[in-house]
Every structure is written in C-alpha cells, then in structure tokens.
Amino acid sequence: MAQTKPTPSAASVIQPANRWRSLLPVAAIVICTAVAHIVFYKVFGNPANFEGGDAAHGHPLNSMGIVFKGGFVIPIGMTLALTMFVFVIERAITLIKATGKGNIDVFVKGLRNQLRKGDVEGAIKACDNNKGSIATVVKAGLRKYQEMEHEGGDKEHRKEAIKTEIEEATALEMPMLERNMIVIASTASLGTLVGLIGTVLGMIRAFSALGAGGAPNAAELSVGISEALVNTALGITTSAVSIFFYNFFNTKIENMVHSMDEAGYSIIETFDMNVE
C-alpha cells in the first residue's frame, strides 16, 4: 500500500534571515537624517528667507525662516518626522499585501462554508487565490489536515498536530506583520522628547535676553520664543501622528491574528466532525 508523503511543516520551510533586509531600517534612518539636514540648511536656511540675506542674524521674512530660527534641534525633529513617514508607508504597503485579495471577513467566512461541506481542496485553492498572510496560515493547516486525514493513530494526537502546525505558521507570519513597528513607536516618544529639548533651549534663550543688562533685546527675545514654539509644534505633531498610525496598524494586526485563530479553529472543528 502506497504511503502518503508527509507535508513539510511550517517550521521546516523557514527561510534564512535576509541580512540586507535587516539593514534597510538603518539605511532608511540614515537617508532621512541626511535629507532633513539638507532641507533645513539649504532650503529653510536660504539667505533669501531673511532680512539682509543674513541667516545667522537677519529677521526671518517667511515661515521657512521662522522654522530655521528654531535652532539645531529642528533637523533632529525633522529626521524623526521623515522616518515616521517612511515607515508608515512601508507598514501600510506590507499590511495591504498581507491582507490578500478581497475582504478578510468574507474570505474567512467562505473558508468556513467550504470546510463545513468537506471541500478541503476548494479551501486550499481559495488560499492560493487570496495570497495573504491568513491564507498562508490556513493553507499550512489544511495541508496538515490532509496528511492527518490519511494517517492512523489517536484522533486527539492528530488534532494536536494540526493545531501545532497552525500555531507554527502563525508564528512565522508574525515577524513580517510586526516588523518596524518599534520604529514608529520610537518616533512617538522621541518626537515629544526632542520637541521638549528644543522648547527648553528656546526658553533659555528668551529668558537670557530678558535678563541681559539694560533694555531687553527684542530680537533675541523673539528668536528664543520662536525656537521654543517651532520645536514644540514639530515634536507634538510627529508624536501625535506616530501614535495614531501605531495604534491603527496594531489594530489591523490584531484583527488578522484573530482571523487566523478563527480559521484555525474551523479547520480543527471540521477534522473533529469528519474524521474518525
């Protein structure tokens, strides 16, 4: 009697870590740092933005000049803002691909209906068409289902093997879903801190102008206040946007994991009903 060829487990098909992929976040941050400094000194610090063409001492003529007067902390804040923007785009593209084709809820509902009918091959074809992370996990579980369906032995042991396969497949998908989320979370906290540092430095300059001997230097006072407010605005904005997208992406990931668990439960439930 011919034996069924075992299906490779999810753990056995782990691909080697891509060294270049791990360096991409570092490269992106370095590029964002360079771009932020170039824009700050070449665009915002353009002499045309200041009275007399003097970026160091001239009064700013427009908003770009005002931002430049925010001081050396501004390009650091701009780096964080650009980094956040880049990784938000990267995460959005990744999660869209991970979602697969069509609506997740409709896909999972269709799988459950096919499994209730015992159409395992049809469910596998649906996974191939979807091409998302949930489909990858479900397909691994369905392949194990087919293997256990023709294998003898204790039923509970076979159910546990299917469950383990689904858990392994889910564990393999999670790093891809959560990759670089820490960068977005870091820009949320660092944005506020960097903005606060710039604010404190600006207020120090403002109070120094007030405390100078003789009449207060209005120009120095305005520069200090401007530095404080620009840094505050940039830091708070970066932090707020980062928090919003971090929570948004985190919710999407949790929903996908929930759908994986739901589909996995349906596979095990079908196996329990249809296999002796």
Q: What is the 3-state secondary structure (H, E, C) of 98-145?
A: HHCCCCHHHHHHHHHHHHHCCCHHHHHHHHHHHCCHHHHHHHHHHHHH
Report yes or no: 197 and 231 within 8 Å, Cβ to Cβ: yes
What percentage of the chain has pLDDT greater than the value 70? 86
In a domain, 10, yes or no: no
The helix-helix angle for 133-149 and 120-130 (nearest 10°) equals: 160
Which pTM was predicted? 0.81
Report yes or no on 217 lying in a domain.
yes
**Helices and strands in the chain: count of H runs, count of E runs:** 9, 0
**Longest CA span, the chain:** 104
**Highest mean pLDDT range out of 22-31, 178-187, 217-226?**
178-187
Please check the confidence at residue 188 and state whether its pLDDT lies above 70: yes
Tokens of 30: 């370095």
Most confident of 52-56, 64-68, 162-166, 183-187: 183-187
Residue 246 included in any domain: yes
- Give the Cα separation of 109 and 212 in Å (integer): 73
The pLDDT of residue 227 is above 80: no
Which pLDDT score is estimated for 19? 62
What are φ and ψ of residue 210, in 5° steps?
-70, -35
Residue 130's closest CA among 147, 114, 148? 114
Is the per-residue pLDDT at 14 higher than 60?
no
Please give the Cα distance from 35 to 82 (Å, whole number): 9
Residue 223 — pLDDT band, cuts 50, 70, 90?
low
Residue 8 in domain: no
Name residue 60's beta-bridge partners: 50
Report pLDDT digits (tens) over 68-110.
888 889 999 999 999 999 999 999 999 998 888 878 888 888 8
149 in any annotated domain: yes
Under 8 Å CB-to-CB from 248, ≥6 apart: which residues?
none
- CA separation for the pair 145, 162 (Å, rounded): 6
Q: What is the mean pLDDT of the chain?
A: 83
Return the pLDDT at 213.
Answer: 54
What pLDDT score does 155 carry? 79
Count of domains for the chain: 1
Query: Does the pLDDT at position 16 exceed 50?
Result: no
- Dist CA 135 CA 98 (whole Å): 9
- Residue 216 pLDDT level (bands cut at 50, 70, 90): low
Q: Is the pLDDT of residue 62 over 80?
A: yes
In the structure encoding, which two tokens stand for residue 226, read together? 């401007």
Q: For residues 224 and 260, which has the higher predicted lDDT (pLDDT)?
A: 260
d(CA 112, CA 119): 10
The answer as to whether 269 is a domain residue is yes
When comparing pLDDT for 22 and 253, which is higher? Answer: 253
Burial 59-72 (b: 16+ CB within 10 A, else e): ebeeebbbbbbbbe
SS3 17: coil
Per-residue confidence band for 149, with pLDDT thresholds at 50, 70 and 90: confident
Q: Which residues 6+ apart lie within 8 Å of 276 measured at CB?
A: 155
pLDDT value for 275: 66
6 falls within a domain: no
> Which of the residue ranges 14-18, 34-38, 263-267 would you say has the lowest mean pLDDT?
14-18
Q: Give tens-digit pLDDT for 111-124.
A: 888 888 878 888 88
Host domain of residue 30:
25-274
CA-CA-CA-CA torsion sign (209, 210, 212, 213): positive
In-domain check, residue 139: yes
